[in-house]
Structure 1
Amino acid sequence: MSGPGGWWRGKSTPAKVETYTRWSFHFFALIELTSIGLPLFANVPSTLSWWLFPLVCGHAVLCAVTASRALDWVRGTRDRPRRLLTALAATTALVAVAALTLSGTDWRPATDAEVRLGASVFVGVIAFGTGTLALGTRDRRRMTHVVLGATVGAGAASFPLGVPGPAALVTAGTVLLTAGFLTFTAAFSVWLLDAVYELDAARETRARLAVAEERLRFGRDLHDVMGRNLAVIALKSELAVQLARRGRPEAVDQMTEVQRMARESQREVREVVRGYREADLAVELAGAQGVLKAAGIACEVTGSAPGLPAQVQSALGWVVREATTNVLRHGDARWCGVSLRVTDGRVTLTVENDGVPDAVPGAPGAGEGTGPGGGSGLAGLRERLTGLDGTLRAGPVEGGTFRLTAEVPMPDPPGPNPPAPDPPAPDPSAVPVPRRVNEVRS
C-alpha cells in the first residue's frame, strides 16, 4: 500500500513491537546527545567542549549500533556482538574518565557549573552504556553483575582523580540508580518482545490445532456414516457373487439391496458435507463481533437475521466469516461495522472497516484464502451468491475505508395451491361400450 503509513500497516503486530523497541533504544542515543552532549558548549570552554563533544557523540552512536545488533542476537538473526560489546565497555570507561577532568586540575581550577556538568556526563555515559550492555546478556544475574560492576567502577575511578569521599559515594549511588533503571528498561523490553512473538506463535499453533481437530471430527463423522454401510455393501456383494455362481435368482435381490445401500450412503455423505457448508448468520455475526473485539478492533453490528430463508442465511454467513478473516489478516483496522437490512425484497449485508489492505480483495491474489466448500476467498463467495442471483462488491471507498457489500434477493414465498381445473365434459360419441365379462370364457 502506498502512503506515509504503508510500511507500518504492512507489518505484523510482533514486527511493530520489534520496530518500536528498536527505535526506542535509538531514541536513547538522541537523549544522551541532547542531555549531556549539547550542554557542554554552554558551560565548558570551547577548546574542552569541542574535545569532549565528539566523544559523547561517538559513545551515543556506538550505543545505538550495539543495541540494534544485540536485539538481532536476542531474536536469533545474528551472532552475539562480542566485539561491539567490548568496544562499548571500553568507550564508556574512556568517556567517563574524560568527563571527570571537568572537575578541574591543579593547573586549571573548575567552576561550579563545570563540576556539576562533569558529574552529569560521568553518570549519564555510564548509565547509558550499562543499559545497552545489558542487552548483550539474557541472564538476570549477569545483568545485576554489570550494574554492580559499573557502580563499583564509578566509585573506584572517582578517588584517584581527587573527588572527595562523600561526593564519590553520591556519584556511585546515582550510577546505581540510573544504570539499574536503564538496565531494567532494557530487560523488560526484551521480555515483552519475546512474549509478543511467543503469543503470536501460540496463536498460529492454536489455529493449526483447530483445523486439525476439525479435520479429525469430519473424518470421524465420515467413518461413522460410511463404515457400516460399506461393510454391509461388501458382504452383500460377496453373497451376490456366490449366489450368481450357483445360478440362484436371489443374486438379483442382493444386488438390488447393494444398490439401495450405495444410494443411502451417498445421501448421508451429502448431509454430512451440507452440515459443514451451511453457516448460521446469527451465529456468524456474534462470532465475528467477539473475534474482532478480542483482536482489539471495535465492532458494531446492526440489524438481525431472524426470518430470513435458510439458504440466504447460509450464504451471508459465509460472507461474514470471510470478511472477518480479511479484516484480521489483510488490514490493520481499528474499527469495523457490520449492517444487515432488508429493503425492497433484497437482503443487503455491508461490512466496513478503516484498515484498507495492501491490495484490493477480489483482484487476483488479493485476499483469496481457502474457504470450505466454496472455492477460495471472495471468488468462492461470488459463486455462492451467484447461485442465489446475488452480487458481491468489495473495494476501498472515500476516507480510507474498505467496504464489502453483498446483496441477495428474497425468494418469493410459496403461494396457496391453485384449484384443480374442472374435468372436461364427456363426449357422448366417445363413451366406450362396456363389454360383457362372461363373453369370453377360458
Structure 2
Amino acid sequence: MGSPGGWWGRKSTPAKVETYTRWSFHFIALSEPTVIGVTAFGHVEARFALLLMVPVAAHVALAMVTASRALDWTCGRRPQPLRLLWALGAVTAALAVTALVLSRHGPGGEDTATVLGSVFGATLSYGVGMMALGVKDRRNVVRLVLGYGAGAGLVAWPAGMPALGALAAAAFLTAASGFFAATSCFSVWLLKAVYALDEARETRARLAVAEERLRFGRDLHDVMGRNLAVIALKSELAVQLARRERPEAVEQMIEVQRIAQESQREVREVVRGYRRADLEAELHGARGVLRAAGIDCEVSGGTDGLPAEVQSALGWVVREATTNVLRHGDAKKCTVTVLRPEGRVVLTVRNDGATAPHGSSRTGGTGLAGLRERLSAVGGTLDAGEAGDGEFSLVAEVPLTARPALEVAS
C-alpha cells in the first residue's frame, strides 16, 4: 500500500483536478445534513431529530451518486444520468414540499417549524446545485433554478405562508440554489478546460514529432528524387547502348555508379544532420517549450567551445529529458545545469515530478537506453532516477576528449 501522498502524486494534473472536484461536491452534499442536524438537535428532542435525518440522509446519498455519475458524464465515461437527475429532482421536490406542509400544518410548535423550514430550504438549495452538474445547456440550468425558486413560492403561499413571506422565500431559495448551481457549472467548465489543455499538450508533442518526420522526409525526397530519376534514365540508356554493342554503355554505367555513390553520401549527410543535435539550440528550445507548458525552467552554464560530437550527444539528452518532463509526471519546475569540471562536461536535468517514473527506472526504459547508447559512443555515462524531495534527476557526463560518435547509415 502506497502512502496517500504517493497516491496523489502519481495522478496527472487533470486527474487531480477531477478528484478535487468530485470530493468537493461530496463534501458539499454532506454539508446539507450538517446544517439541518445542527438546527434540529438544537431545537427539538433527539428522537425526532434522528427520525428527521433519515429522509435527509437518503436525499444526500442520492445527490452524491448523481453528482458522481454526472462528473463521469462530463469526462465522457458514462452517458448522461437522466434517470438519476429525474429521481433527484422528484425526491428533492417531495421532501421540500412535505417539510413545508408539516411546518405550517403539522404537530409541534415554533421550534419544529424552524427545523422543518431548514429542511425545506437546504433540500432545495443543495438538490438544485447537484442537479446542475448533469445538465447539458447552461440555459437549462437557469430554467432549473428559476423553476424551483418559483415553485417554492407557489407552494409556500397555498400552504399558509403570507404572500410577502412566500415571495421572500422564493427569492432566497432562487439565490441560494443559483449560487450552488453556478458553482457546479464553473467546476464543470474548469474540469473540461483542464482536460482540453492536457490533450492539447499531448497533441502538440505529437505534432512536433510529425513535423520533424515530415522535414526529414522532404529532405530525403529532395536528395534522392532527382538522383534516382537520373539513375533510371542513364540505366535505360546503358541498356539500349549495350544491346547495340556500343562502347558508350560502359561510360553510362560508370556515371550511374558515380551518381549512386554521390546519392549515398548525400543521404548520409541528411541522416547525420537529422541525428545531430545542437546543445545550445536544444537548451533554448527546452526552456521555451517547458515555459509554454506552464513549467518554470531555469538553464545555467555555458556551451561555448564544446566539441561537435559532445554537443550532439548532450543535445539528445536535453531533448529526451524535456519530452519526459512534458509527457510524464506533474512537474512545476525544471532546472538544467551544464558544468565543466576539468576534462569533462556534466549535464544535469532536475524536475519536481519524481512520482511519475519517466517511462523508466534507473536502468530501464527505451528512451534512456537509447541515450546511454549515444553517450557510450562518445565515452559518456548516464544516470537517472529519483533524487529525493520529490525530484527526478538525470545526469549525463561526457569527457571533453570524447572520441567521435559512430556515424549512422555508414
TM more than 0.5: yes
Residue deviations 1:46-76, cap 9 Å, x none?
3431221122222111111111112223333
Residue deviations 1:384-423, cap 9 Å, x none?
111111111111223332211111111289xxxxxxxxxx
- Give, in whole Å, the separation in 1 of the partners of 2:170 and 2:360: 64
Residue deviations 1:260-297, cap 9 Å, x none?
11111011111111111111111111211222222222
Which of 239, 242, 245 matches 1:244? 242
Residues matched between the structures, number:
403
Match of 1:7?
A: 7
Q: 1:196 to 1:73 in 2, by over 3 A?
A: same
- Give, in whole Å, the separation in 2 of the partners of 1:310 and 1:11: 40
Where does 1:314-329 land on structure 2 (aligned, <5 Å)? Answer: 314-329=312-327
Match of 1:388?
A: 378
Which of 400, 407, 425 matches 2:390? 400
Higher RCO (CA < 8 A, seq sep 6+): 2
Q: 1:412 to 1:280 in 2, by over 3 A?
A: closer
Contact 2:310 2:402 in 1 (8 A): no
1:116 to partner: Cα distance: 4.4
- Give, in whole Å, the separation in 2 of the partners of 1:399 and 1:72: 34
- Give, in whole Å, the separation in 1 of the partners of 2:355 and 2:113: 57
Match of 2:157?
A: 159
Q: 1:387 to 1:119 in 2, by over 3 A?
A: same
1:357 to partner: Cα distance: 4.0
Q: Secondary structure at the residue paired with 2:302?
A: coil
Q: What TM-score comes out, normalization by structure 2 length?
A: 0.91
Contact 2:328 2:358 in 1 (8 A): no
- Give, in whole Å, the separation in 1 of the partners of 2:223 and 2:240: 27
**What runs of 5+ residues in structure 1 fail to find an aligned partner?**
369-376, 414-442
- Give, in whole Å, the separation in 2 of the partners of 1:412 and 1:134: 65
**What runs of 5+ residues in structure 2 fail to find an aligned partner?**
404-410
Residue deviations 1:355-406, cap 9 Å, x none?
11444765499543xxxxxxxx111111111111111111122333221111
Match of 1:296?
A: 294
1:100 to partner: Cα distance: 2.9
Contact 2:382 2:396 in 1 (8 A): yes
Match of 2:49?
A: 49
- Give, in whole Å, the separation in 2 of the partners of 1:346 and 1:57: 69
- The structure whose residues are more often helix, as a share, is 2
Q: 1:402 to 1:207 in 2, by over 3 A?
A: closer
Which is worse superposed, 394-403 or 342-351? 394-403
- Tell me how large the CA RMSD over aligned residues is: 2.4
Where does 1:151-300 land on structure 2 (aligned, <5 Å)? Answer: 151-300=149-298
Contact 1:280 1:313 in 2 (8 A): yes
1:344 to partner: Cα distance: 1.4
AA matched with 2:347: L
Contact 2:378 2:402 in 1 (8 A): no
Runs (4+) of structure 1 moved beyond 6 Å? none
Q: 1:295 to 1:3 in 2, by over 3 A?
A: farther
- Give, in whole Å, the separation in 1 of the partners of 2:206 and 2:360: 25
- Give, in whole Å, the separation in 1 of the partners of 2:381 and 2:363: 20
- Give, in whole Å, the separation in 2 of the partners of 1:357 and 1:278: 31
AA matched with 2:141: M
Q: 1:8 to 1:366 in 2, by over 3 A?
A: farther
1:106 to partner: Cα distance: 7.4
Match of 1:140?
A: 138
Q: 1:183 to 1:287 in 2, by over 3 A?
A: same
Contact 1:341 1:347 in 2 (8 A): yes
Match of 2:341?
A: 343
- Give, in whole Å, the separation in 2 of the partners of 1:27 and 1:362: 37
1:25 to partner: Cα distance: 1.2
Q: 1:90 to 1:365 in 2, by over 3 A?
A: farther
Q: Secondary structure at the residue paired with 1:407?
A: strand
Match of 1:16?
A: 16
Does residue 1:309 correspond to 2:307, yes or no? Answer: yes
Contact 2:12 2:329 in 1 (8 A): no
Q: 1:58 to 1:366 in 2, by over 3 A?
A: farther
Contact 1:155 1:171 in 2 (8 A): yes
Match of 1:30?
A: 30
